[in-house]
Amino acid sequence: MTTQVKINVPGNHLMVPLLGHRDAHLRLVEDAFADASVHVRGNEIAIGGGDAERVGRLFSELVLLLQQGERLEPAVVSRTIDMVKADERPSEVLAAEVLRSARGRTVRPKSSGQKRYVDAIAGNVITFGLGPAGTGKSWLAVAMAMQALQSKQVDRIILTRPAVEAGERLGFLPGDLMAKVDPYLRPLYDALYDMVEPEGAQRLLERGTVEVAPLAFMRGRTLNSSFIILDEAQNTTPEQMKMFLTRIGFGSKAVVTGDTTQVDVPGGRSGLGGLEQVLAGIDGLAFVRLTSRDVVRHRIVADIVDAYERGS
């Protein structure tokens, strides 16, 4: 049975951003839903075919996003299409504000997986965010840490990574120990500078409110009232992972990020290996798996991730 759906867009000013430059967004929708015909007249969109209801829901969601101030770009429209196909509500996912960054940009989840991830961080003591490059694991974790610091839920942020020798020997890097491990920690600094203007970030680092250090520096410490992020956790050994997880003190929250397909730890004994089974059932602890659907870099990155997963 052929369904007919009509969407009345509230205001002609929304039509161009909705349909895209030269109808680029409309073409994305038509390509994604082969069993739907879309006809636009004025500010009315008439949809027919077997996919008419889903396409109608998609346009309604896109209108809501525009009304919430979201800027529609082809990548946003593509992710919205994916969410509607998965029976999710993009207007709820994409409108959730995590943090307003120093540059005035609003940090929001850009996929349903990312929304699950930030919700898990908010609701648990320890959250494991596992997934491929480009899924926003570290970036969103730093945003959640800054939000917790600004709202005085924690007194400090600790950003840490294992300084594993991934193709480079630390001895060949110039300077003292911190200078040697600095290249490994650079992505965490980059995320921090994204959230806070450089002067503010420098002040936080000088005061010790934000600490960036290699994982080895965590040994023997108990971390209270802190938001701790362990990045690139696939390169920890099982012993290092146990050491890290047992550092967490009162009033603290931890996020552990990793990509189990990129293990560089010598011998391949990753601290993430089999950890979900070991820690299953512990209250206040969550595992969130992000996939190529959550990649928010260039579309080609998601395609590359998919290609590698098919080949492995």
My answer on whether 62 and 141 are in the same domain is no
CATH number of the domain enclosing 179 = 3.40.50.300
My answer on whether 125 and 7 are in the same domain is no
Q: For residue 298, what pLDDT is reported? A: 62
My answer on whether 229 and 106 are in the same domain is yes
Q: Where are the alpha helices (DSSP H) in 86-123?
A: 90-94, 112-123
Edge-first strand listing for the sheet containing 253-258:
210-214, 156-161, 226-230, 253-258, 126-130, 285-289
- Mean of pLDDT over the chain: 85
> What is the amino acid identity at position 141?
A
Percent pLDDT > 70 in the chain is 88
My answer on whether 71 and 45 are in the same domain is yes
Q: Say how many domains are in the chain.
A: 2
My answer on whether 199 and 184 are in the same domain is yes
Q: For residue 187, what pLDDT is reported? A: 78
My answer on whether 117 and 220 are in the same domain is yes
Indicate the residue among 77, 94, 111 that finishes a domain: 94
CATH number of the domain enclosing 59 = 3.30.1370.10
My answer on whether 145 and 211 are in the same domain is yes
Q: For residue 292, what pLDDT is reported? A: 81
Range 196-218 average pLDDT: 86
My answer on whether 171 and 190 are in the same domain is yes
My answer on whether 134 and 103 are in the same domain is yes
CA distance 29 to 36: 9
Give 45's DSSP letter: E
Residue with the two structure tokens 């596992």: 130
Indicate the residue among 62, 94, 126 that finishes a domain: 94
**Residues of the domain holding 273:** 99-311
My answer on whether 122 and 227 are in the same domain is yes
CA distance 32 to 55: 9
Cβ proximity of 81 and 90 under 8 Å: no
My answer on whether 153 and 62 are in the same domain is no
- State the greatest distance between any 2 C-alpha atoms of the chain, in Å, as a whole number: 72
**pLDDT tens digits for range 1-25:** 557 889 999 988 999 999 999 999 9
Give 224's DSSP letter: -
- The yes-or-no verdict on residue 174 having pLDDT over 60 is no
**pLDDT tens digits for range 105-157:** 778 888 889 999 999 999 999 999 999 888 989 999 999 999 999 999 999 99
My answer on whether 135 and 60 are in the same domain is no
Residue 299 or residue 217, greater confidence: 217
- The yes-or-no verdict on residue 195 having pLDDT over 60 is yes
Residues present in the chain in total: 312
3 state DSSP class of 154: coil
Q: For residue 107, what pLDDT is reported? A: 82
CA distance 20 to 74: 8
Indicate the residue among 94, 123, 139 that finishes a domain: 94
For residue 184, what are its two tokens?
A: 């490994």
